[in-house]
Amino acid sequence: MSGSLDALPACEKCLSTDESARAGRISRAPARNLFVLGRGILRKLLGRALGCGADAVPLAENALGKPALARSRDLSFSLSHSEDLMLFALSAGPGEIGLDVERVRPVATDELALLCLHPTEWEALDGSSGLRGAARFFQLWTAKEALLKAVG
């Protein structure tokens, strides 16, 4: 399924009542559209894997707010988005998976690195600056986020 805005109506139709309400509370159209597309595409992918319609996928949220299948221990998934990028992963079998994607953009790398990276990770930035430093920062950041998404 395409992630373009052309897919928005189809994605809206397969959302649960709670997801539709949540989307309605997002005031900025780009963020709302991203949420609807992400959940709609996720539901379509999970529906194919489970052999059911997208609107019948039993999605719930765990205690940390992460979407999860309400009645399945044999299929795990993860999703991430950054600006116009979306990434989805499905895994059959026990265990959780995690992934993260970030659009590389100029950021205050040193300040962010000091706040959220371990000192050895911070050293891996090796004084890089500009887009090179941002790319290295986001490489470390996405690895850390993916791990956190997998383990909770």
Residue 3 has pLDDT above 50, yes or no: yes
Q: What is the pLDDT of residue 90?
A: 94
* Distance, CA of 12 to CA of 27 (rounded, Å): 16
Q: What is the pLDDT of residue 113?
A: 78
pLDDT digits (tens, 9 = 90+) for 51-75: 999 999 999 887 777 888 887 668 8
Residue 1 has pLDDT above 60, yes or no: no
Q: What is the pLDDT of residue 2?
A: 44
CB count within 10 Å of CB 42 equals: 22
Q: Which of 41, 55, 143 is nearest to 99 (CA)?
A: 143
pLDDT digits (tens, 9 = 90+) for 24-36: 999 999 999 999 9
Q: What is the pLDDT of residue 137?
A: 85
Report the pLDDT averaged over residues 5-13: 90
Determine what percent of the chain falls in helix, strand and coil, rounding each to the nearest 5. Answer: 50, 15, 35
* Distance, CA of 138 to CA of 53 (rounded, Å): 36
Q: Which of 95, 106, 109 is nearest to 140 (CA)?
A: 109
- Token pair 């990434």 is at which residue? 87
